[in-house]
A and B are shown apart, each in its own frame.
Chain A
Amino acid sequence: MSIALHLALIALLLALAFWTVVARETFAAVAGFVSYGLLLTLAWVALSAVDVALTEAAIGAGLTGALLIGATSRLRKTEAAARAERPGRATRVLAAIVATAVAAAIAACVLLLPDPGPSLAPEVAQNLASTGVGNPITAVLMSFRAMDTMLEAIVLLFGLIGIWSLASDRYWGGRPGLAPVVEPNGILAYLARVLPPIGLVVGIYILWVGADYPGGKFQGGTVLAAMWLLLLMSGLHDAPAVSQRWVRLALVAGPAVFILVGVLGVFVAGAFLGYPEGLAKPLIIVIEVALLPSLAVTLTLLLMGPPQRSESSP
């Protein structure tokens, strides 16, 4: 892309970001944010970060957008009251000044970064072969810095435990989210019948290519989660009760397999999260395959919120 295109992209990004901050209606702001998120994927691509672009599109724009839109519609009633709490002019001016100062400092730092920037790319390239995977990012995520990835899966789980712990006591063990309204002939139901099979294939494909090309479990898991969400929203399928054993098993299977493979590494490769010579790629794929459903279930349930209905409710 040429500089002109970059400039146009940046201008559009800034305009949407500005709109997100100043919009009066929360809904308008969220809409602005979702389109901003989609545009941002272009920025990642422009910066040669295709894996990140996929993640951003799936999670940053997609799931976060869905989350915020859902919350906006639920919280619409509170908007008027909240506007009254808006801080006075002096506060806003002060806020603008300090925010500008921080932004200026960051901008200065960006300009002052060393050129050429330090990079671990050569080291990654050097050691890529021993991991067996072709995508350097997957190598970083699953081998060099596998600890971070394992912790990330655990972070999601902690988030979910946190959300569940907010449930009201009487609904504990019940189903999350509001009872779905079934409209068998609606457009949603139609989509929900058509898309999931395709989505399933796409999700697994993204996971599969992730070893060598952009893609991976997070992106794939998000696609699967989106398909399940579609089913839930259309009413064709009801959310499972949080007390069900299979839900819990599905949630922890991925991280558990990750830990077990890591422990296996202690015995066969001499280090926790190490892979023995030649078996690196299969083991990485085992972990990714185990993580995919866990991530899909976790992401879906994160979006659904705490249990809000008893298990027996329709």
Chain B
Amino acid sequence: MNAPTLFGLCAAVLVGFGLYGLIVHPQPLRKVLSFNLMGSGVFLVCAVIARRGAAAGMGGDPVPQALLITAIVVAFAASALAVALMLRQFDETGSSSLSNDPGPAPAKPAAKGEA
């Protein structure tokens, strides 16, 4: 098994970790952290694809590598916006949470237990 394939499998696992964290962590900050973890897994997939496209004397296909740079910067902007929202919510309410849905209160309490 060659290096790109190994990293590709590693990327898949990283995406899985990120997804799990995104689902189960109640704190928004941990969700953003998990999102970044998942994102890095996705980026790693892309890097693997770039590496597999090595040709013409280049160590990797430059097009996906360029895409990666763009994607990393976009992900950073997203994290910054999310963190700013969290901090503002904390300033306003003293808490940071995504539950306590301010939407419609159900007519009766929702089904017991989780999921």
Closest to A19 in B: B17
Contact B53 A119 (CB under 8 A): yes
Nearest first, the 9 closest Cβ-Cβ pairs linking A and B are A48-B59, A103-B16, A119-B53, A117-B52, A110-B8, A159-B77, A107-B12, A85-B26, A140-B66
Q: How far is the CB of B66 from chain A (nearest CB, A)?
A: 4
Contact A163 B81 (CB under 8 A): yes
> B residues touching A (Cβ–Cβ < 8 Å)?
1, 3-21, 23-27, 29-30, 32-34, 36-37, 40, 43-45, 47-63, 65-70, 72-81, 83-88, 90-91, 94-97, 99, 113-115
Q: Which of A190-198, A231-239, A298-306 contacts B (4 or more CB under 8 A)?
A: A298-306
Contact A121 B53 (CB under 8 A): yes
Q: How far is the CB of A21 from chain B (nearest CB, A)?
A: 4
Chain A contacts of B60 at CB under 8 A?
47-49, 121
Contact A125 B61 (CB under 8 A): no
Q: How far is the CB of A145 from chain B (nearest CB, A)?
A: 6
Number of interface residues of A (CB under 8 A): 101
Which secondary structure characterizes the binding site on chain A? helix
Chain B contacts of A156 at CB under 8 A?
73, 77
State the CA gap A116–B54 with chains docked (Å).
Answer: 9
Q: Are A111 and B68 also in contact (CB < 8 A) when A21-B21, A49-B50 are?
A: no
Chain A contacts of B37 at CB under 8 A?
17, 20-21, 33, 36
State the CA gap A241–B94 with chains docked (Å).
Answer: 26
Q: Which of A86-94, A251-259, A260-268, A270-278 contacts B (4 or more CB under 8 A)?
A: A86-94
Contact A55 B29 (CB under 8 A): no
Q: How far is the CB of A54 from chain B (nearest CB, A)?
A: 9
Contact B24 A92 (CB under 8 A): yes
Contact B5 A111 (CB under 8 A): yes
Query: How many residue pairs at the A-B interface have CB separations less than 8 Å?
Result: 304
Contact A47 B50 (CB under 8 A): yes
Contact A21 B34 (CB under 8 A): yes
State the CA gap A159–B77 with chains docked (Å).
Answer: 6
Q: Are A6 and B6 also in contact (CB < 8 A) when A78-B90, A117-B53 are?
A: yes
Closest to A50 in B: B59
Contact B73 A155 (CB under 8 A): yes
> A residues touching B (Cβ–Cβ < 8 Å)?
1, 3, 6-7, 10, 13-14, 17-18, 20-21, 26, 29-30, 33, 36-37, 40, 43-44, 46-49, 51-52, 55-56, 59-60, 63-64, 67-68, 70-72, 74-75, 77-79, 81-83, 85-88, 90-92, 94-96, 98-100, 102-104, 106-107, 110-111, 113, 115-122, 124-125, 136-137, 139-141, 144-145, 148-149, 152, 155-156, 158-159, 162-163, 166, 168, 216, 218, 299, 302-303, 305-306
Chain B contacts of A113 at CB under 8 A?
8, 49, 52
Checking A55, A139, A149, A299 against B72 with a beta-carbon cut-off of 8 angstroms, the contacting residue is A55
Chain A contacts of B23 at CB under 8 A?
87, 91, 95, 99
State the CA gap A102–B12 with chains docked (Å).
Answer: 8
Of A37, A86, A119, most B-chain CB atoms within 10 Å: A119
Chain B contacts of A56 at CB under 8 A?
43, 72
